[in-house]
Amino acid sequence: MRVLMTGATGLIGRELGKALAARGDTLVCLVRDAQGARRRLPFPATCHAWNHLLEVPAEALAGVDAVVHLAGEPVAEKRWTDAQKALIRDTRVLGTQRLVAAVLAHGARVKAFVHGSAIGYYGDRADAPLHGNSAKGEGYLADLVDEWEAQVRPLAERHPGVRVPIVRTGIVLARHGGALARMLPLFRASAAGRLGSGRQWMSWIHVDDIVRLFVHALDSRAAGVLEGVAPRPATNREFTTSLCRSLSVAENVPVPALAIRALYGAMGAVVLDSARVEPRRTLASGFRFRFESIDQALAGLLTPLRGAMREIVTEQWVPHAPEALWPYFCDERNLEALTPAFLRFEVAGKSTPAIGEGTLIDYRLRLSGIPLRWRSRIENWQPARRFVDTQVKGPYAYWRHAHEFVPLAGGTLMRDVVRYRLPLGWLGSVAAGWKVDAQVDEIFAYRAQRIAERFGNAKVEAAREVEAEAA
């Protein structure tokens, strides 16, 4: 199946794209920065530059069987000034208008249009059970979502053969990205507690389940509203207790509702409004959840971060099989080429002629201008699939870097998972974790650029565009 996706660089889009590519689907993505997206996306895709102010390129619809629409300015990242509210609305309403118009004009093969929406439709409804057939609520978000969803009605009216599932998504829980990732710094420092009264309902869903739900919406006969929420919503009090228990940290005093409104203005409604949404239509469509309780979801996501452990994950797809990439990454001299100059990184020596299980490698580098020596041990050596380098001597209390080479869509998903702990436990993490995270992000951004230049997918992209035109 050939799938056109918007919002591919977002939390759901990245994971959904990997899932679709893994099963053999072909992805076409509408993104703001086509060149940057090609480098960042963890799956192969033909990328077209687009935003809500532009017409959708007709060639993007060539041969497309289904559309997944996820694009929209994040609702809870900036204070709701008039300009920001206009941007939130326009990226959704105008963007959807343009996308629907393009499908009507150029998408003759499109059979399904999966629209990513939000439970903001229900507004603040206290303890009332809500579901896909419930009436619209009141307030800015409810009006926004109602207008947003209205833009897909012309598809049903003019092309009744096109299914239009609307997934109203709740709070997506993921370790890296979304609302949970923004909460973690304060909770890890035991500096956060429940919000307001704590009685407001939080309708959440695990990132793995929301990805599976979008796949289900593509593949099944489902149409109309599907509730993108887990079967057991939690109050903010329950959520906070579970989060602290999963991290093994102490819960701090509650944050008064007045303080939240004073700090965030109208945007405070995002965390203070109550929506107890149940996935009745989703379950009736045949979908089954893997994560039903908040304790189950948060324990799986957060237990690895206990004890002031920090984690950074980066992913990059390249159009070469793991076996073709492996020799390059087994040569320690290439590590220097993949490291930015500010680290002054150089390999000082290694304990075996060829890198393998148990090899010790010595490095010299500078961190924040301070010259350091580092020794790591190679572990879990699985040729063309995986290896780990673990700090034996160095500046961190703990450092473990897993290099994974995952076969995906005729190429390789290169995944780097770094887990580290700073000296002085949570105090060191609070004081310097943000700085180390930023530095590691900079290192991996440089690394991604060098890898794209060395193993880039320009030829694959050109071939896919030719294939689309032929279709």
Q: Return the C-alpha torsion angle 395, 379, 207, 321, nearest 10.
A: 120
**φ, ψ (nearest 5 deg) of residue 434:** -60, -40
Closest CA to 282 of 147, 423, 177, 170: 170
Rounded to whole angstroms, the Cα distance separating 277 from 279 reads: 7
Q: Are 66 and 114 in contact (CB under 8 A)?
A: yes
Beta bridge partners of 206: 173
Return the CATH number of the domain spanning residue range 310-460. Answer: 3.30.530.20
Q: Which helix (H) or strand (E) holds 430?
A: helix 425-455
Phi-psi region of 35 (alpha: psi -120 to 50; beta: other; left: phi over 0): alpha
- The two tokens of residue 401 are 């870097």
Longest dimension (CA), the chain: 70
The answer for residues whose C-beta is within 8 angstroms of residue 362's C-beta and 6 or more apart is: 347, 348, 349, 350, 373, 374, 375
Reduced to 3 states (helix: H, G, I; strand: E, B; else coil), residue 284 is: helix
- DSSP codes, 205-223: EEHHHHHHHHHHHHHSS--
**φ, ψ (nearest 5 deg) of residue 23:** -95, 5
Q: What's the whole-model pTM score?
A: 0.93
* pLDDT tens-place values along the chain, 471 residues long: 999 999 999 999 999 999 999 999 999 999 999 988 888 899 999 999 999 999 999 999 999 999 999 999 999 888 899 999 999 999 999 999 999 999 999 999 999 999 999 999 999 999 999 999 999 999 999 999 999 999 999 998 898 889 999 999 999 999 999 999 989 988 988 888 999 999 999 999 999 999 999 999 999 999 999 999 999 999 999 999 999 999 999 999 888 888 888 777 888 888 889 999 999 999 999 999 999 999 999 999 999 999 889 999 999 999 999 999 999 998 888 988 899 998 999 999 999 999 999 999 999 998 878 899 999 999 999 999 999 999 999 999 999 999 999 999 999 999 999 999 999 887 888 778 888 888 889 999 999 999 999 987 544 444 444 444 444
Closest CA to 228 of 241, 217, 240, 243: 217
Reduced to 3 states (helix: H, G, I; strand: E, B; else coil), residue 1 is: coil
Q: What pLDDT is stored for residue 369 in this prediction?
A: 80
Q: What pLDDT is stored for residue 434 in this prediction?
A: 82
CATH of 2-305, one of 3.90.550.10, 3.40.50.720, 3.60.21.10, 3.40.50.970: 3.40.50.720
Q: What pLDDT is stored for residue 457 in this prediction?
A: 58
Q: What pLDDT is stored for residue 429 in this prediction?
A: 82
Locate CATH 3.40.50.720 in the chain.
2-305
Beta bridge partners of 68: 5, 114
Q: What pLDDT is stored for residue 333 in this prediction?
A: 85
Q: What pLDDT is stored for residue 107 in this prediction?
A: 95
Q: What pLDDT is stored for residue 462 in this prediction?
A: 46
- DSSP codes, 11-59: HHHHHHHHHHHHTT-EEEEEES-HHHHHHH-SS--EEEE--TTSPPPGG
Locate CATH 3.30.530.20 in the chain.
310-460
- The two tokens of residue 15 are 């994971």
DSSP state of 454: H
Alpha-helical runs (H) found in 206-266: 207-219, 236-247, 257-264
Number of residues assigned to the chain: 471
Rounded to whole angstroms, the Cα distance separating 46 from 69 reads: 16
Q: What pLDDT is stored for residue 49 in this prediction?
A: 96
* Sign of the CA dihedral running 326, 327, 328, 332: positive
User: pLDDT tens digit string along 439-456?
Assistant: 889 999 999 999 999 987
- The two tokens of residue 245 are 């228990």
